[in-house]
Structure 1
Amino acid sequence: MFGRFGKDAGSLLGIDISCCAVRLLQLRQVAGAFEVRAQAVQTLAAGVLQDGRVADPAQLAQVLGDALARSGATLREAALAIPATAVLSKTVQVPAGLAEDALIARLCHEAEPFIPFALDEAAFDFECRGSVAHDPCYEAVGVYACHQGWLDGLEAALELAGLRARVVETDSLALLRAVGADDDAVAVVRVEPGHWALHAQHQAWRADVGAAADVPQALAACIERWLQALEGPAPARLVVTGAAADSARALEVQRRLGIETTVFDAAEPALALAYGLAMRRAP
């Protein structure tokens, strides 16, 4: 349930649950393009989430139910996101052709040293990446893990709301999908009340901020520091998303860094994460 990484372009209800709002989106495909079929944004009271995790599933379920009713959405299977910074990842090499049970057992054994909590508290996913170049008898597998506590509250709230959490993935994957980024040339900046985050391929940073969040120059300076820490070349394009995204921030980032910077859907930049989630295919 946690993952299946990399399977795109489907029809699930995209639900973005942030500290202050639930954003819900249903897409439909018309002539190969996505169109919004239903959407709603519902305010979330303080305390429903604590440090990003669901602390009050019953209250969240009520908000989800209200958003669902307002939106007119017809889907009941959903894709959700957790912060990329909450997910641990590692690439391991395993003998090719292992049966699924043997593969999972091997991956758990390989993952145990890099997981800072008990294995029975972890939720796992994996992604087969093909044969190892120098030894075709082995294949490379990406292993992903998060603490089960990130998922328990989400699943409970959705069940109470009459929904099913079919996919849970990282916010980085969903945001990069939303903007059509399939390589290192594009990165996404998410600007929300109280925090910023930068999402690039296989890398993510987050900064909690106060009143400085209202100053476009502060965001530009923060992104500049993040880009200096990037592994590999800087992106050729930045896309700004989130409830606090606006053209002033995008223009200041572009002026200071010399990188093309745009706002995701200037009318609804806050819906980028829900949009990317709604593009997912059910596994």
Structure 2
Amino acid sequence: MEVGILLAKSGIGLDIGTSAVKLVEIESGHPFRVRLVQSEPLPDDAFNKDMFKSTPPIVAILQSLFKKTHSRRAVIAISGQSTILRTVQVPLLDKEEIRNALQWEAEKYIPFPIDEVSLDFQIIGQNREQSESEIFLACVHKDIISQQLDILHQAGIHPLAIDIQALALARSLGLENSADNSSIALLNIGAGTTDLTILKGGVPCFNRIIPIAGKQLTESIAKNLGVSFEKAEQLKLLHSDAQYNLTQAAPGSEMYQVNFTMLEGLRELVLEIKRSFDYYHIQQRNDEITQLELTGGVAQLKNLLPFLSQELGYPVILAQPAMKYKCSNKKVGAFFNEAMPEMMIAFGLALREVIPG
């Protein structure tokens, strides 16, 4: 799924999410220099099943974001429920032989006809005794890639590479191809979905997209309180507390209703995460997860880290860039630090261009 790779003195990462477009531009050096950090919201109804309903609004947003960049070349990421990531066992073959075999065997692992997807893979392990290779398989529906590339072309942007969000996030955290063989969970709670990836030795060995995230929480608040989506979003930002004590609040109060609804949604999310961890333990023969790193816009919800740690029984930390960096000025630094959880994927995409793979 690569369009091309070019190590350069600077890199631009472009993360097109379901609620906003995020851009980070960095320059190589010791330390890296974060030159530009930007985010522009998308219309509420911009997406339908991972596809844009209308392309002109997103083209206009991209053109606006790239007015201040030093280049119009960027690395982008594909995400959504039409992105399939799998760890699968295949016969012990060389890379080209595996690629040829997947053209006939891939439909065992993906829910789409092979001629409708763009597919790539990475060999992550070999067992010569059992004559097997373990591969990390990634595929995306061709219609999604085609639309995204068409939008970039209309905006005058050249895509250097199409990456996977989970890999970009691992890169930003310094976990890509890590020598540490422990299992680390990455939880990206965005607007449209929650993406759970488990890395072992820096390689994704489990991925699941959970359809419970910021937008669904806001919709539940809107429904339960009988208010508009916009008003519900304001109430969520104003009142939400993942450790709110419902027993000490008046049931009819606005604060109570918002947090009652929020906690219902968060507990449902926790249940899905636990199910995923249970499956991973079975798959990896009870291999224990050592910690969970949290990213995404919802990561900044008050007391979410201690709530998740208590509910899941694992240490939960807010993800931070592993590499030292400096910012071009105080304004860029202040925004990057404030918006860090939702900018990590764009940061990891930009890093792809300035560090050796």
- Provide the secondary structure at the position in 1 that maps to 2:316: strand
Aligned mates of 1:42, 1:15 — CA distance in 2: 11
Q: 1:41 to 1:84 in 2, by over 3 A?
A: closer
Q: 1:185 to 1:104 in 2, by over 3 A?
A: closer
* 1:263 alignment counterpart: 318
- Provide the secondary structure at the position in 2 that maps to 1:12: strand
Q: In angstroms, what is the RMSD of aligned CA positions?
A: 3.4
Q: Tell me the number of residue pairs that the alignment of Structure 1 and Structure 2 aligns.
A: 275
Q: Is 1:117 aligned to residue 104 of structure 2? A: no
Task: Give 1:112-191 correspondences, 5 Å limit.
Answer: 112-129=107-124, 133-134=128-129, 142-181=136-175, 182=178, 183-191=181-189
Farther off after superposition, 210-219 or 266-275: 210-219
Aligned mates of 2:275, 2:241 — CA distance in 1: 16
Q: 1:148 to 1:215 in 2, by over 3 A?
A: farther
Aligned mates of 1:36, 1:91 — CA distance in 2: 40
Larger radius of gyration between Structure 1 and Structure 2: 2
* 1:51 alignment counterpart: 49
Aligned mates of 2:78, 2:167 — CA distance in 1: 10
Q: What is the TM-score with the length of structure 2 in the denominator?
A: 0.65
Aligned mates of 1:77, 1:240 — CA distance in 2: 29
* 1:230 alignment counterpart: 280
- Provide the secondary structure at the position in 1 that maps to 2:338: coil
* 1:82 alignment counterpart: 78
Q: After the TM superposition, which segments of 4 or more aligned residues of structure 1 sit over 6 Å from their partners?
A: 7-10
Q: Does the 8 A contact of 1:176 with 1:200 survive in 2?
A: no
Which of 224, 234, 241 in structure 1 is aligned with 2:295?
241
* 1:67 alignment counterpart: 65
Deviations 1:111-136 (A, max 9, x none): 24444433332212132457652388
- Provide the secondary structure at the position in 2 that maps to 1:245: helix
Q: What is the TM-score with the length of structure 1 in the denominator?
A: 0.80
* 2:37 alignment counterpart: 39
- Provide the secondary structure at the position in 1 that maps to 2:43: coil
Which of 266, 275, 287 in structure 2 is aligned with 1:219?
266
Aligned mates of 1:185, 1:60 — CA distance in 2: 37
| Structure 1 unaligned residues grouped into runs of 5+ | none
Q: 1:259 to 1:104 in 2, by over 3 A?
A: closer
Deviations 1:56-86 (A, max 9, x none): 23321111111122xx222322222223752
| Structure 2 unaligned residues grouped into runs of 5+ | 200-204, 222-235, 243-262, 321-336
- Provide the secondary structure at the position in 1 that maps to 2:211: strand
Aligned mates of 1:3, 1:229 — CA distance in 2: 34
Q: 1:147 to 1:186 in 2, by over 3 A?
A: same
Q: Does the 8 A contact of 1:91 with 1:143 survive in 2?
A: no
Task: Select the structure that is richer in helix.
Answer: 2
Q: Is 1:19 aligned to residue 18 of structure 2? A: yes
Q: 1:140 to 1:176 in 2, by over 3 A?
A: closer
Aligned mates of 2:186, 2:100 — CA distance in 1: 35
- Provide the secondary structure at the position in 1 that maps to 2:299: coil
Q: 1:58 to 1:88 in 2, by over 3 A?
A: same
Q: Does the 8 A contact of 1:176 with 1:199 survive in 2?
A: no
Farther off after superposition, 175-184 or 15-24: 175-184
C-alpha displacement of 1:154: 0.8
Q: 1:139 to 1:225 in 2, by over 3 A?
A: closer
Task: Give 1:81-100 correspondences, 5 Å limit.
Answer: 81-83=77-79, 85=81, 86-89=83-86, 90-93=88-91, 95-96=93-94
Identity across aligned pairs (percent)?
Answer: 22
Aligned mates of 1:133, 1:267 — CA distance in 2: 48
C-alpha displacement of 1:104: 4.2
Equivalent AA in structure 1 for residue 115 of structure 2: D
Q: Does the 8 A contact of 2:116 with 2:142 survive in 1?
A: yes
Q: 1:110 to 1:229 in 2, by over 3 A?
A: closer
